[in-house]
Chain A
């Protein structure tokens, strides 16, 4: 046999092997991540409705989006919701929880962290129902019950503070993710650094500012980026608690797409338009990812592999 350069065939064999190892993962990614995006994008160029016909209408859906008088409102809602929840709860409050529960005795800290995780184990519908009770505009709701007991008039919380409601209800549950990641990051800091800082004269705040925060910089940036993307696409608690109301006041992009596709109040099932909306959201998410990747310089976080694969 006239086989070529043995070095070359060896390398080709190596690539084949690597490919075979990657194949199961690739299939999963293709099937569950890439395929839906492609199908959604293609669907975005049709006017598909409950009859499921692929009638391609070019950029029709995107022109419609540009004319949709609701879109500016939805966009602002989405930005306020995403960055409000992120800044107040998912990063800041998660960080405060992690700092506080690692500064007290281990057992008490663990108790509070477990407490904060409880909503994660609760079915979303139950969690939403509890909030509906707390925020009920009638005097039977928790908050209004308290107001009435103090001689004040009940307030229609959801109508009056739609942004506040969606940020708080999502943030209370969302903070636990950051809390967990930050807690483990803080615990991974060698205690010698913290002891050295204490001997060097640092107060608790100075210790946090000069030692802890710089040393958990990567987890902080990771949670910021990750939670931005997950908040951009999340809508289930908003759907359950405010339905995006009153009159789109708390409706975010992903919920708007959902409503266009599945909700009866939009009239027909506008799968085509909804798919176009979803495609735009995917694009926004992609742009945000790239921006975070550049701004946070995530490449620096990655190390070269220690072993050589030929």
Chain B
């Protein structure tokens, strides 16, 4: 097994900067995810770690050994492609055996290892088939086998679940996580699907336009997004983000828009009062809000515009002028369009971002340094 360290990693394709000055550490045996929208540089990063792309600048270390100039075949990396890339002219058995054959492993040994890994992923009965005869889920397992059979020190997964149907995706998600735990192999998952990233990995690196936005455990990304991008990207249904102005009316702190005034807790008043600006973006997760027919504490009166039953609960849409606002209501609460309800945000779970898109908490932390 190995730890991975990326240092000031940059990749340019002509004038396009695909990955920009990326610093990232993966601990030995850790499972992390690179998460971001398409074109954010996550696959490019993965291919640099695999040795297929050369970094334009910066360094890649495996266990503190610089591997920039090491050929892919000497990196002891297993890679599962989004397309699976199973060699179409080889049987499943030969696909899995291929890395061992190239490494000149004796035939008996190959046979043993292929069957062992096939048993691990439950595809033993498919070994004689051609890849074209397999379903997507089966191909995915074969690809995983081929990556694992040479017992790599690092497992790289490029969108391994995106070609599977929804149900299979959930099963395979758990399956890969189980395998990773069992084998204790350092793994990097590339995905655009936040659920995949948050459920499977110990830490998630959110990337946007080639730049690392935040790197931390799923809870941290969810509870304390460092900036507006992470706040808007993580969470489903997404966080409500509303441009507001901070004002004190009658000595009481409040966030003001053209359409509503939200009174703030004193603690927030103190934090925001110290800042040298008055304009912020308010972030509230739909699930961090209570709905009530009576006014309680710092609340906001709204009229229900639309309801979306989600099964486990109801997504309630409010509209304040131009601003739309979503609240996730538990299913016990019956809500109808046109109802007037008090919206009571959990003041401790409010997120406020400066004009530069940085979390106010983050600004405070930087001041403290």
Contacts and interface: CB of A to CB of B under 8 A. Distances in A.
Nearest to B84: A192
A215 interface: yes
Contact of A195 (B47, B78, B98): B47
B79 interface: yes
A135 to B, nearest CB: 44
Contact of A192 (B72, B75, B85, B102): B85
Nearest to A217: B89
A302 B89 CA distance: 17
Interface string B95-108: 00011001100000
Contacts of A190: 83, 85
Interface in A176-225: 190, 192-193, 195-203, 206, 210-211, 214-215, 217
B77 A199 contact: yes
Contacts of A198: 51-52, 71-73
Nearest to A202: B102
Contacts of B103: 201
B251 to A, nearest CB: 64
B52 A202 contact: no
A217 B87 CA distance: 14
B317 to A, nearest CB: 42
Contacts of A193: 85, 87
B88 interface: yes
Contacts of B72: 198-199, 201
B85 A201 contact: no
Contacts of A199: 50-52, 72-73, 75, 77-79
Given A192-B81, A192-B83, A198-B52, A203 B73 contact: yes
A196 B73 contact: no
Contacts of A214: 87, 89
B81 A195 contact: yes
Nearest to B101: A210
B114 to A, nearest CB: 13
A267 to B, nearest CB: 57
A284 to B, nearest CB: 33
Contacts of A200: 73, 98-99, 102, 146, 150
A214 B73 CA distance: 21
B52 A201 contact: no
A198 to B, nearest CB: 4
Contacts of A203: 73
Contacts of B102: 200-202, 206
B232 to A, nearest CB: 31
Interface of B: 47, 50-52, 71-73, 75, 77-79, 81, 83, 85, 87-89, 98-99, 102-103, 146, 150
24 contacts: A190-B85, A192-B81, A192-B85, A195-B81, A196-B81, A196-B146, A197-B87, A197-B98, A199-B50, A199-B51, A199-B52, A199-B72, A199-B75, A199-B78, A199-B79, A200-B98, A200-B99, A200-B150, A201-B72, A201-B150, A202-B102, A206-B102, A210-B87, A214-B89
Closest 5 CB pairs between A and B? A192-B85, A201-B73, A200-B99, A196-B85, A201-B102
Given A195-B52, A202-B73, A206-B102, 20 more contacts: A190-B83, A192-B81, A195-B47, A195-B85, A196-B85, A196-B87, A197-B87, A198-B51, A198-B52, A198-B72, A198-B73, A199-B50, A199-B51, A199-B79, A200-B98, A200-B102, A200-B150, A210-B87, A215-B88, A217-B89
Interface of A: 190, 192-193, 195-203, 206, 210-211, 214-215, 217
